[in-house]
Structure formats: C-alpha cells, structure tokens
Amino acid sequence: MSETYKATEDFVTFYIAGQLFGVPVLTVQDILNAQQITPIPLAPVEIAGSLNLRGRIVTAIDVRKRLGLPDREEEHSMSIVVEHENDLYSLMVDSVGEVLAVDSSSFERNPPTLDQRFRDYSVGIYRLDGTLLVVLDVNRFLDYGKRIEVA
Amino acid sequence: MDDLLSEFLTETNEGLTTLDMELVKLEQNPNDTELLSSIFRLMHTIKGTCGFLGLPRLESVAHSGENIMGKFRDGELEVSEKGVSLILECLDKIREILGVLEATEEEPEGDDSDLIARLNAHADGMDAGAAPAAAAPAPVEAEPAMGAAVEEEEEELDELERAFRDAPGPEEFAAMQAAEAAAQEEAAAPVEAAPAPAPAPVAEAPKPKAEAAKPKEPAKAAAPETSVANQSIRVNVDLLENLMTMVSELVLTRNQLLQILRTQKESEFAAPLQRLNHVVSELQEGVMKTRMQPIGNAWAKLPRIVRDLAHELDKKIDLVMKGADTELDRQVLELIKDPLTHMVRNSADHGLEMPADRLAAGKSENGQVLLNAYHEGGHIIILIQDDGRGLNTDKIKSKCIENGLATEAELETMNDQQIHQFVFKAGFSTAAQVTSVSGRGVGMDVVRTNIEKIGGTVELNSVEGKGTTFTIKIPLTLAIVSALIVESGRERFAIPQLSVVELVRASDNSEHVIERINDTPVLRLRNRLLPLVNLKSLLKLSTQEEDEQDKLRNDNFIVVAQVGTYNFGIIVDRVFDTEEIVVKPVAPILRDIQLFSGNTILGDGAVVMILDPNGIAASTGEIAVTDGDIGSLADRHLAKDEERVAMLVFKGGDEAPKSVPLALVARLEEVDMQKVEHSGGQYLVQYRGQLMPLVPMEENTVLPKEGHKPVLVFSDRNRSMGLVVDEIVDIVEDRMNVEIGAGKPGFIGSAIIAEKATDVLDTTYYLTQAFPDWFVAEGAADGSSGGRSRILIVDDSPFFRNLLTPLLTAGGYEVKAVDSVKAALQLCEDGKMFDVIVSDIEMPDVNGFEFAEMLQQNDRWKNIPMVALSSFASAADLDRGREVGFKDYVAKTDRDALLSTLNDTLAELKGAAA
C-alpha cells in the first residue's frame, strides 16, 4: 500500500505510550470505549480477550503488549476495531485522537535503527508538524500465522 | 455458467440418482408397469432436454437407453439383469459426460458408439429395426397394453419438443420448462400457457386419453407428483445458510432480551417480548426445517452400490432401509454421507458371507444389510446392521499383533468388545483379501474421525456368527447446540451438552468426595475411579495459593464428560443452566489452543469460550483419546513378561511406607472413629448395613476415639474387613519385586516401589486377624512361581491370584498368574515354559483335575510338575489328584506348606535333571 499513496491520506490516529500512531481510515470499522471483555485462558499475553460487538465476536489485542511496551498505567483504554481476513479485531490503545489528513510527500520509510517490533509492524513514518506519525501495518500486526520475515 | 445449463445439470443429476434407485427396484419387480413408466419418463426427460440444449452426444446415449426402456415397458423385451446393467452403464456414461459439461460448459468429444451399439443390440435382441442412434427420437409402436397411452403421449410430446426447438429464441426458457413439465408429468397443465400456439392443442389431447386408457392407479400416483412439483421451488443453499445465520443471531438477541426482562419485575415490554419469543422460536424451527433433508437422500446411492457389489462378489444381498424420511440438517447429512456409504460397503463385503457359507451356517441364502434411522432425544441414531459372520475376535487379535497395534499380553486382558474396537484403528483391515470394494485398510478409522468431527459417536457390537451392528449417534444440527454453562475462576465457559454424561456434586455431606492421590484428584463413582481435571488449573486461571485453598474446599461441582470410551470429570466452581448456543469459530490467533472448540455469545451478551472435551482429554496427560482403556492397559505391560502391578502406598504404624496390591483393596473409606465400637476384643464399625471388623496396623494398638481415619477395605464374597491406616499416600504402578523377606509379622517383605523401599503388606495376616476362618471359607488360591524358577498359577479368583503373586514373588519365584485353564493352555501354545504349575481345583468350565488330565496329553507341558491348591483337601481328593498327575496337594490357606512344597518339588526337579 505504501507505493500508492494519494496526495493526502486520511488516518485515524491514536497514542501508545505518548507516540502517535495511525491506521488508514478506511480500515477502521469502529471506535470503542472500554468494553466488557472476556479473558481467554491460555491465549498469548497480548490477547486481552474477546467481546461482543453487535452480535459479532471481536478479539481484543493489547497493542502495548504486542509491541513489547510496559503496561499502561491508567485503567482506561480505547479500542479501534479493524477487520482482518473476515475476523474483527479490537486494538486496545491508550487513547484515540482525531482523523488526520496527511500529505503523502511527508512519508518516509522506517529508519533502520528503529526497534525491531516497531519496524515489523510499521509501514513507515509521516513527518508532521512537531510530531511523527507511525503508520501501523494492520495486516502484519494481526498476521499471527506467518512468521515475519526479517528483511 | 448459463442459468439454463446449470439448471439442466442439477435436474439431470437428480434424475439420474432417482433412476439408479428405480432401476434396482425394477430388477426386483420386473413386472411393475408403473415403475417402468416412471423410469421411461425420467429417461425421456433427460434425452429431451439434452436435445433441446444441443448436446448431441448426451442425447444419443440417452436415446439408446430410452430405447431399451421403451421396449421393457411395452413388454417387447424382458427385463433382464443384463438389460439393467446396460442401462446403468448408460447412466454412468451420461454422468461422466455431465461431469465434464459442468466443468467446461462444453460437451466433451468422445465416441460412445460401442456402448450405443451394445444398447441397440440388446434392444434389437427381440425386435430388430429399432431406431438408430439419431438425434430424432423414434417412438416405438404403440400397443394396446398398459403403457400405450403413455407411449402415444410421449410421441406427441416429442413432436411438441421439436416444435419448441424450432420456436424463436426469446421463448426458449419458457419452452423448455413447458417441455420438461410436459415430459415429466403425464398431462401437463403448464403447456397450455406455452407461447407457441401450435403445441397447445396437442398437449391437451393426451390428457383425456391418458385418463381413459389407463387404469386409475397410475393416474393417481402421478397426481401428487404434479402438485409437489408445483409447490416447491429451488433455493440456493447459500441463501439458506445465510438465513440460518441471521436466525441464529436473532435467537441470541431474543435470549438477551428475555434475560433483561427477567430482571425487571413489571415491564410493559413483557407481553410483546413474549410474542417475539414465540415468533422467533417458530421462525427458528421453520428455517431449520428448510435445511432439513430426509436421510434417504444420503442413502439414494446405496441400492445401486449394493447391487453392483452383490454382482461383483457373487453374493445375494438384500438392502433394507428403514426410516429413510428421518430428517436431519443438510450440513450433517453431507458429512455423514461418505462414512455411511463406506460402512454399508463394509457390511456387504466383509460382514456378509458367501451364499454357500450362509446356507452351511443355517442362514438364508440372502444376506441382509439393514439401515435404520430414527430420532432419539435430539439426536439421530443410525443403525447399520448385517446378519453376517460377525467380527472374528481371533483374527482381529492376530492382525493387531501383526500390525503392532497391541501385544499379545495386552490383548489377553481385553474382552471381545475391547478387541473389536481395534477395527477403528488406522491401518486396520481384517479382510484377508483386498477386494476392489474394501479392505484397503483406510476406512473405519476415517469413518470414526468423520463422525466424531461432527460431534457424533459410533459404537460397534458384534456377535460372532450372528452379525455386526454399528450404531451412529449424531446431533440433529451443527448450527445451534445445547451447552452447559459452567463457571471456573470467575469466568464462564460452555461445554457441549453432547459430551456431558452427568453432573456430580462432591461435598462432605454428599455421597461423593473428591479424593487425592499424590495431589491428583479422583472421584469414586459407582465403583469406578474417575480421573478428575481441575478446569481452573488446566486453564491457568488460578494462582498456586488459590489452588491450595481449592483443595480444602469441600463443595465441588464435577461435570462428567465422555470422549469416546474415556470418561473423566471436570471440576468447576459453579454450574449454571444449559443454553442454546451458536457455535462461532475462534479467531485464527487462538486456533492452536486445543482446549477450545469455538466461542459464542450468551443470552446476556457476554462472550464465552466453548470447551472442547476432546482437547481437555488430550491435554490431561498421556491419554490416548480414542482408546483410553486400551492405552492405559498397554502401559501396564512391559516387554519382558514381568507384570506391572498397581500398588496402593500408605502409611500406618511406623513411618515406613507400606504398600498393598491395589487390586486387593475393594474400597478406600474414611471412618469416623466415634462410630467405631469395641466388642469381643475386636473393633467393629457399621458399614453398608453390616458389621465390619477393623484391624489396626499393629496389634494391640488402641484406636483413637475421635477424628477420621482412612481405612482400606478388603472384601471377598460377602465379607469385608477394614485395615486402619494413618494416611493414603499414592497409587503407583510398578513391577512387584519383593526383595527382602519379611522380618515382622504382617509383611511379605520389602519392595522398591516408586524408588522407595516399601513394606509389602501380607494381607493374609490381617485378614485372618479379622476372620480367623477367612481362607477356610474361600475356594480358590492363586499361585506363582519364583526363585527365578517360573511358576504358573491357574486360579479363577482374582483375590487369591493377587495374594499369591506377591507372596511367591517374595519367595523368590517368577510368577505368572492366569484366571483360567483356557488362558493357561494359550500360554502353552505360545511356547511359554514353566517349572511348576500351581493350579486351583475348583474352577468354572475346566477344573483342576481335567486340566491335569489335559496336560498329560500335551507334549510340551507333560513333564511340568503340578501342585494342586484347594480349600477342601480330603483324602479322596488327594487320591484323585495324584491319579491325574498332581505332584502334591496343598490346602489353600497353608502358605508355609505351599512354599515348602514348591521348594521340594523344584529340588526334586533339579535333582532329576542333574
């Protein structure tokens, strides 16, 4: 997807540990406040559980844990619901920001010095005024089946 | 694909299936004119539609087949096996062409002239001059017989079709429908509505004729067909699936609403919700019905298969199908089709004998395969029964050994039923010869797997010489299942009701108490030990501390689950009610957690995980899921003939661990010391309505007056005694190898059990303390051999076998104990040798005297000295014993005499050898 950005691209932004992230607006199904989540025993740590979203079962994934970051201090979290291969996933983030239209020309590839996990799950970086936006690669983020090949 | 073509394919395939069935029926009732007409019509429809769609190859094949059918019907040709075979061949060809047509939308190139020639030759066999394989149908001369009117009509309809074929394009579809309808039903009303003006009168004409010329019966039979055809429509399966999903969701939402309503005492929503409830229930039922299909659909191919099989194998087989209209879910039906077909083939091929063998066995020449389907409590039961030779247990045994599925020793301990289960093992086939039909060794295991995949079970019951019955139990539908909702570690889980056998509440006040063997919980349930798994620790929902607390808790719910033949209990915190749930697959991330089979949304909107009892069974230790019993038996046997014995390890008296063969212990009890009475120098307790003597570990010990003490209960016949111990430690399976002789009364000696020196209890000692006459009353003893001298003990009483085995092992003998003469002779056949045989006299079937006499005739074992064991040693017995070859005679109760006799006998033997 990185090759075909238009002049501007819309992203739903969110914060993880103070860092601004974004996912393409069209991939987002829903934004949720804290929900009643059923924990799933024996599941990988980052799987927070599953929840019922209008009759569909959504698997909740704690983005912090998946990225290997420390647990969030505040109880409250928000979630972004995305669809991946016909299943719904809710990405638990610290907070959800606004929808930003960003200029494609400000796109950069991941700096090679970036932390391995960030590099694995990031499409690239947008240079915004005063901050950087990390674009989360939802497909790779949720692709548990295949091992991520290290380039 | 072209709508027209796809519809044609669906319809023709259906037609062919019906034809298969009807033809087999016809072969049995060659004179059934109605059947003949119906077959002819079907054949004709196929041919007609082929012509219409411009498929010349199909048409010419179909036409030739129709030709023969026409002659059958008109009585010009007799219905013969050869004729039917030819027509079936013709149908296969059509099917083959259709297959290609479906894949490529093109009629494949190919030459069918050989088949057509044969078909025509057969048709001409009696009446030359039948039409050649041309595109134009050649109606056979009408006769004033039964079929005449129909025939005439067909002729007219052919004209009609031709007229349609020439009709302009836009009307094509309607025309085809009309033509089809006309061809299918004797007198077709829709024809009147056909666009072309010409055919209408023609079509109308046959109607009165048909009625006039034909007797009432066939006309009546045709009528309902017409109405059914008009009242049904074709619906895409996907659409139905979708509907089903939506209704499932609706049901869940309804459940949610009802749940909310329950919490509100008075609500204006109550009445409308009640109505909604009813409507939804009915809707659910209705939609379920749309997916329901009679099981007969899965059987449709079977008559043909069985017929072909009977031919190929030269057997006479009657296939009886009962309950063909039993309905079940389409999805389940699809999944059950192949296993069923396979099983019927198996029954016909392996199960049924050749006609000659059947006659020799006093059965009728015709073998019968019975299929029976019926509903039973939310399940469908399908029986596949044959009256053939039944499973040959010995053959299975030797096959098992050959294929390394089990060892001889293992098989010896199994009953027939258990041995029969081996046919479900991969790589198993008992057919001596691999026929094209079955015997390829892939089969029953696949059948079982497939059935279990849809939550079903398959059971096998076979009586040698009488036949075999397979019982398949499958759920009605997969979409909505009934599940038990339980709680563990504050989370709720669903367990499919199908695998739940019962619920048991275990608390101090109830009949059932969870006991622990080395921290492993077990439950005594109806005289069997039920392994338990704690769901909380299995799911890692608890910390160590919580686990400890749980152990002290004495109120537990146990869900007894069954997986195959393996039963186990799942300890949960709470049990709610059962709920109808819609099984949804879990996200791919979670698929490798084998404990869950899916997840669902409950009535209150919460998501819960569905537990998979298969997964739980598999994850709790080395349980082979499909054959739990057999697997554990296998573990018990070592390659060397040394038997492993389950030993109960306990503490009592001094600190050293003590043990006793588990088989000797009838029960473990906790006895309230307050209830113990002291009378006549004995401790007694009321136990199961009788007074049971209690014996302390060490003589003259005064039992405490309060508290509870574990008691090992020994029983034989109607008597029980309790041995009061301090603590039950563990159950260990180990080789019984008593190494050091006893230095103190009450012990046989010491053995290394679970890597610890353990005193092995001499039960005789304690038993005689409770009942001095215990052994006098008994009838049987078990002997074993040792001193690295091999002793064979033949005794039907497991009690004495278990008693003597450790005793003689302690005496330094290598002991093998069997329960009957038959088993002993088997060992002889297997080439085993022993130094001494110790045999009981009073045994069922063959007694000790007879056994000795038999051995006199046996070359291999003739010279083995025998010692008789009996509780009734009269002078006459002694004489008789010596007469038949017993070296010596020992009373069962006299251990010392037995040991010294063995010593003497062996010494004598060695002396003789030297």
> What does the angle CA B59 – CA B154 – CA B50 come to, to the nearest 5 degrees?
20
Residues near B196 by Cβ (< 8 Å), separated by ≥ 6? B163, B164, B167, B171, B175
Residue of B77, B45, B42, B67 whose CA lies nearest to B120: B67
CA end-to-end distance (rounded Å), chain A: 18
pLDDT at A89 exceeding the cut of 50 = yes
Helices (H), B75-213: 81-104, 113-124, 148-166, 172-184, 199-204, 206-213
- Residue A82: per-residue pLDDT: 92
Coil, strand or helix at A47: strand
Residue B716 pLDDT greater than 70, yes or no:
no
User: Between these two residues, B580 and A62, which has the higher pLDDT value?
Assistant: A62
For residue B517, the model assigns a pLDDT of 81
Which pLDDT score, from 0 to 100, does residue B874 have?
63
Task: Indicate whether A124 pLDDT > 50.
Answer: yes
Q: How far apart are CA B242 and CA B263, in angstroms?
A: 32
B56 Cβ neighbours under 8 A, 6+ residues apart: B50, B107, B135
Among chain B residues, the shortest Cα distance to A40 is held by B609
CB contact under 8 A, B607 and A43: no
Split at pLDDT 50, 70, 90, the class of B477 is low
Stretch B256-263: mean pLDDT:
82
Do A42 and B595 make contact, defined as CB atoms within 8 angstroms? yes
Closest Cα to residue A2, out of A123, A126, A143, A135?
A123
Q: Is the pLDDT of residue B273 over 60?
A: yes
| Bigger pLDDT: B892 vs B839 | B839
CB nearest to B541's CB, from A36, A41, A52? A41
Mind listing the pLDDT tens digit for each residue in A19-47? 899 999 998 988 988 888 888 988 888 88
- Report the 3 state secondary structure along B572-637: ECEEEEEEEEECECCCHHHCCCCCEEEEEECCCCCEEEEECHHHHHHHCCCCCHHHHHHHHHHHHE
Q: Distance (Å, rounded) from C-alpha B420 to C-alpha A20?
A: 66
Whether residue B804 contacts residue B817, with contact meaning beta carbons closer than 8 Å, is answered with: yes
Confidence class for position B737, pLDDT limits 50, 70, 90: low
Q: What is the pLDDT of residue B344?
A: 86
> Residue A99: pLDDT band by 50, 70, 90 thresholds?
very high
| Least confident segment among A84-98, B425-439, B652-666 | B425-439
Query: What is the CATH code of the structural domain delimited by A8-144?
Result: 2.40.50.180
* Percent with pLDDT over 90 in chain B: 2
pLDDT at B776 over 70: no
Q: Decide if pLDDT at B635 tops 50.
A: no
Q: Which of B491, B588, B600 sits opposite A87 (nearest CB)?
A: B588
The more confident residue out of B252 and A111 is A111
Confidence (pLDDT) at B231: 66
B540/A42 Cβ within 8 A: yes
Chain B residues with CB under 8 Å of A59 CB are 586-587, 589-590
Are A42 and B253 a contacting pair at CB < 8 A? Answer: no
Distance CA B424, CA B447 (A): 8
For strand A122-128 and strand B491-496, is the pairing parallel, antiparallel, or unpaired? unpaired
| Higher per-residue pLDDT: B546 or B494 | B494
Contact B550, B542 (CB under 8 A): yes
CA A149 to chain centre: 19
Q: Where are the alpha helices (DSSP H) in B643-745?
A: none
3-state secondary structure B296-359: HHHHCCHHHHHHHHHHHHCCCEEEEEECCCCEEEHHHHHHHHHHHHHHHHHHHHHHCCCHHHHH
Q: Rounded distance, CA B596 to CA A59, Å?
A: 15
Interface confidence (ipTM) of the complex: 0.82
Given this model, what pLDDT does residue A24 score? 92
Mean pLDDT over B560-568 rounds to 80
- Position with higher pLDDT, B535 vs B681: B535
- The answer, yes or no, to whether residue B665 has pLDDT greater than 60, is yes
User: CB B608: neighbour CB atoms within 10 A?
Assistant: 24
The yes-or-no verdict on residue B152 having pLDDT over 60 is no
Backbone angles phi, psi at B855, to 5 degrees: -70, -25
Q: In what order do the strands lie in the sheet with B866-870?
A: B813-818, B789-794, B836-840, B866-870, B886-891
pLDDT tens column, B302-349: 888 888 888 888 888 888 888 888 888 877 888 888 888 888 888 888
Running DSSP on this structure, what letter comes out for residue B541? -
Output B429 or B490, whichever has higher pLDDT. Answer: B490
Contact residues for B670 (Cβ-Cβ < 8 A; gap 6+):
B513, B708, B709, B710, B711
Q: How many whole angstroms separate alpha carbon A20 and alpha carbon A28? A: 16
Whether B599 and A57 lie within 8 Å, measured CB to CB:
yes
Closest by Cβ to A55, choosing from B253, B586, B590:
B253
Question: What average pLDDT does the segment B93-114 reach?
Answer: 79
Nearest neighbour of A38 by CB, restricted to B253, B539, B606: B606
∠ CA A25-B586-B478 to the nearest 5 degrees?
125
- For residue B811, the model assigns a pLDDT of 65
Looking at per-residue pLDDT, the higher value among B404 and B522 belongs to B522
Delimit the domains of chain A by residue range.
8-144
Choose the weakest-confidence range: B298-312, B533-547, B771-785. B771-785
Share of chain B above pLDDT 70, in %: 73
CB pair distance less than 8 Å for B541 and A52: no
pLDDT over 90 (residue A128): no
Residues of A in contact with B589 (CB under 8 A): 43-44, 47, 59, 142, 144
Average pLDDT of the segment spanning B643-654: 74
Residue range A3-23, pLDDT digits in tens: 554 578 899 999 988 889 999
**Prediction pTM value:** 0.45
Give B672's strand partners: B708
> Which chain A residues have a beta carbon less than 8 Å from that of B249?
55
State residue B431 phi and psi, 5-degree precision: -60, 125
Chain B residues near any Cβ of chain A (below 8 Å): 249, 252-253, 489, 491-492, 539-541, 584, 586-590, 593, 595-596, 599-601, 605-609
CA B535 – CA B92 distance, rounded (Å) = 55
B253-262, B570-579, B871-880, range with greatest mean pLDDT:
B570-579
A42–B593: do the CB atoms touch at under 8 Å?
A: yes
- pLDDT single digits (tens) B13-68: 777 887 888 888 877 777 777 777 777 777 777 777 777 677 778 878 887 887 77
Q: Cα distance from B457 to chain A (closest Cα, Å)?
A: 28
Longest dimension (CA), chain B: 116
Q: Which residue has the tokens 């002991």?
A: B815
Output the pLDDT for position B609: 92
- Tokens standing for residue B528: 């069997």
* Segment B166-172 mean pLDDT: 45
Q: In the prediction, which pLDDT does B824 show?
A: 84
d(CA B840, CA A144): 67
Average pLDDT, chain B: 72
- Is pLDDT of B138 > 50? no
Contact flag A87-B609 (C-beta cutoff 8 Å) = no
State how far the Cα of B196 lies from the Cα of B433, in Å rounded to an integer.
Answer: 62
End-to-end CA distance of chain B: 93
